[in-house]
Amino acid sequence: MNPATELTVLILAAGKGIRMKDPGRAKVMVELHEKPMIHYVVDLAYSLRASRVIVIVGYQRESVMAYIRQSHPDAEAVVQVEQLGTGHAVMQAAETLKGTKGDILVLSGDVPLLRKKTLESLIRQHRLSKAMATVLTAEHDDPTGYGRVIRNHDGSVEKIVEESDADPGERAVREINSGIYLFHTPALFDGLKHISPHNAQNEYYLTDVFEYFWRQHMVVSAVKASKFAEIQGINTIEQLEAARAAMSGPVRRS
């Protein structure tokens, strides 16, 4: 990694976590080994020597912000009042990051098993390839429900296809999109100006930025995590228990 390139980490932590069966608590505040999930993700961000760590909060934001102020006083919080998609979440940081020239890493607050080593590989590949964006991917035996990552012959990303839009050949691809991305910051916020909520959910999808990049003939790269479990978001009680078993004590970031 080039330490001269500024790194900002943006952590998406605004969601409700409806399937966690605890409606009074933000999903990222659900505990693993006596610490909320968000704790591990913020720790990971700082282990990368990020110059700024910004947490996008929404549902039950007061409790999330109070915890972050206590656990990581240097972290910043930005409020997403309405949850209108991942692209909309990142838009909330536009003013805060105005003028930032380096790279921005977008993490999810519900992915506590992600390793420092994996993200270092992501950052290294992003900078070596001079990409405008780099996607963290993983192989999964059952990719049902995930967006498939389709690569060009040179290994760069040709497209990310949602399952509902995939043809049989694309559905057979086992490399899936993790939702974790590294962007060249000015390119990201320029791209966000060109996306719209014209979809069934009326939400702004961060992945729509890639469509803009490809139209502009910008390079989108990808790095594959060694294990699917590392990038899996925790959305259910069953996934929470699996994460607890996988951690089985202090998380190792190497």
Q: What amino acid is encoded at 245 in this protein?
A: A
Question: Which positions are annotated as active-site residues?
Answer: 19
Pairing of strands 103-108, 157-161: unpaired
Distance, CA of 9 to CA of 104 (rounded, Å): 6
Best CA proximity match to 177, nearest among 191, 190, 163:
163
Contact by Cβ (8 Å): 1, 127: yes
> What's the sign of the alpha-carbon dihedral 47, 50, 51, 53?
negative
Please list, in sequence order, all residues whose beta carbon lies within 8 angstroms of the beta carbon of residue 195, skipping any fewer than 6 positions away: 87, 204, 205, 208, 209, 211, 212
DSSP lists the bridge partners of residue 184 as 103
